[in-house]
């Protein structure tokens, strides 16, 4: 079974000092590089928001970051402005080795809808095209690593399972935001979906 490593959003704004820093987020970079050297195919996602993206708290009068609002596609967490197109915060962490990455999927570039998953926008219907790419390449097994475990890694893994892929997460090569218990909830959802949690060494 052909397999690939999918690196999720290892970008400056999700690392310490960034606009939406995941605690200890930069510590996964060496593991991500080690993993990339061992897989026949390596892909990555990149959060890529316009400056007035609808998921930014700054675009909602009277709302603060991490509040929840209703959008046409459902419940949406509001975030600090982050990973704005063309800014240093949207760039991959400088320690991440990019030479083996075959495909970069940019997500969140549509103004009115957020995108956690590598496979679908948050309406759960609009595809990114990644599933078709993987199928055309004959890739059926995925291992995920990156940021954040309880949001973009979680949604990507669940969608991959829903689409019929065999999915593992290198848990020690991820870090979580853990917003209101979201890390534990993510672990439960992943187990229920049949996603394996493994170590990078495995």
Residues acting as catalytic residues: 9, 107, 152
- 146's torsion region: left (phi>0), alpha (psi -120 to 50) or beta? left
Report CA Rg, the chain: 16
Number of H helices, E strands in the chain: 4, 8
Q: Give residues with Cβ within 8 angstroms of 89, minimum separation 6.
A: 11, 12, 13, 18, 19, 82, 83
E runs forming strands in 48-120: 68-71, 74-77, 101-107
Task: Give the start-end residues of each E strand in the chain.
Answer: 2-8, 42-47, 68-71, 74-77, 101-107, 139-147, 166-175, 196-198
Helix, coil or strand: residue 170:
strand
């Amino acid at each position: 079974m052909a397999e690939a490593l999918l690196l999720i959003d290892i970008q400056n704004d999700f690392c310490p000092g960034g606009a939406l820093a995941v605690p200890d987020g930069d510590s996964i970079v060496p593991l991500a590089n080690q993993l990339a050297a061992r897989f026949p195919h390596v892909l990555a996602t990149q959060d890529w928001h316009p400056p007035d993206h609808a998921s930014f708290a700054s675009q909602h009068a009277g709302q603060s970051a991490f509040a929840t609002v209703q959008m046409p596609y459902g419940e949406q967490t509001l975030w600090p402005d982050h990973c704005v197109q063309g800014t240093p915060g949207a760039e991959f962490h400088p320690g991440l080795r990019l030479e083996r990455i075959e495909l970069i999927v940019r997500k969140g570039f549509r103004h009115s809808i957020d995108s956690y998953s590598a496979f679908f926008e948050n309406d759960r219907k609009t595809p990114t095209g990644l599933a078709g790419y993987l199928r055309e390449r004959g890739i059926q097994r995925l291992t995920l690593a990156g940021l954040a475990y309880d949001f973009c890694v979680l949604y990507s893994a669940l969608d991959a399972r829903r689409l019929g892929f065999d999915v593992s997460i290198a848990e020690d090569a991820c870090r979580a935001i853990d917003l209101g218990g979201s890390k534990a909830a993510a672990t439960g959802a992943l187990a229920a979906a049949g996603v394996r949690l493994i170590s990078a060494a495995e």
